[in-house]
Amino acid sequence: MAESLHTDMQVLARQLASEQRLTASAPYALLGHSLGALLAFELAHELQALGCPAPLALFACGTAAPTRREDYDGNNWREPKSDAELISELRALQGTPEEVLVNAELMSLTLPTLRADFLLCGTYTYRQRPALQCPLHVLGGVEDRASDEQLRAWRSETHGAFSLQMFPGGHFFIHEQEDRVLAALTASLQPLRLSA
């Protein structure tokens, strides 16, 4: 845990692209949920800039499109939050068991990383670039705060195929509907794998 925590999405994506450059020469897909969706999107662009083949698909789950961050997050996470504010947000997202949230020792270990993660989202700046060439599949939770319009805005980020699939549940629908989400991922990737 001695490694410094990133608070700049582009720097992190560039580092990951550099580390994954050789791996990305074989067929691959990218999947990210929430903050991870933005990171996967930026990673796809950074790998493209390095001359790597496009991913077979990009799966963006549980967050508004990069162009819709202002009306999704607003300025809410541009500054570091107190421990109490972070715990309150985790409760609101309903993805962390209460016994974890009240465990002071465990929270003291995880809150610095969570704080950096929220700052990654809050300080994220969209950069206009040519659209990706890969299929882009967006998955959302019906009760999550990302609106249909915010999710559909991902469409402009690719020249490839686009799909939006909604699942019952909130922000952590990927856990609540794990079997259905995995079936959707498999259905999207299976034809691509056969043709790769």
Best CA proximity match to 30, nearest among 12, 11, 17, 49:
17
Q: How confident is the model at residue 7 (pLDDT cuts 50, 70, 90)?
A: confident
- Residue % of the chain over a pLDDT of 90: 66
Q: pTM for this one?
A: 0.89
Q: How confident is the model at residue 74 (pLDDT cuts 50, 70, 90)?
A: low
All domains of the chain in start order, with CATH: 29-68+127-196 (3.40.50.1820), 79-122 (no CATH)
Q: Is the model's pLDDT at 59 over the cut of 60?
A: yes
pLDDT at site 123? 86
Mean pLDDT, the chain, rounded, equals 90
Q: Which of 52-61, 89-98, 187-196 has the least mean pLDDT?
A: 187-196
The pLDDT of 3-29, averaged and rounded, is 90
- Is 86:115 a contact under the CB 8 Å cutoff? yes
Strands 30-33 and 58-61: parallel
The pLDDT of 92-102, averaged and rounded, is 87
Q: Is the model's pLDDT at 161 over the cut of 90?
A: yes
pLDDT at site 194? 54
pLDDT at site 5? 82
Q: How confident is the model at residue 192 (pLDDT cuts 50, 70, 90)?
A: confident
One of 34, 108, 147, 195 is an active-site residue; which one?
34
Q: Tell me the C-alpha to C-alpha distance, in Å, between residue 38 and each of 65, 155, 190.
A: 8, 14, 24
Q: Is the model's pLDDT at 45 over the cut of 90?
A: yes
Q: Is the model's pLDDT at 122 over the cut of 80?
A: yes
* Whether 195 is catalytic: no
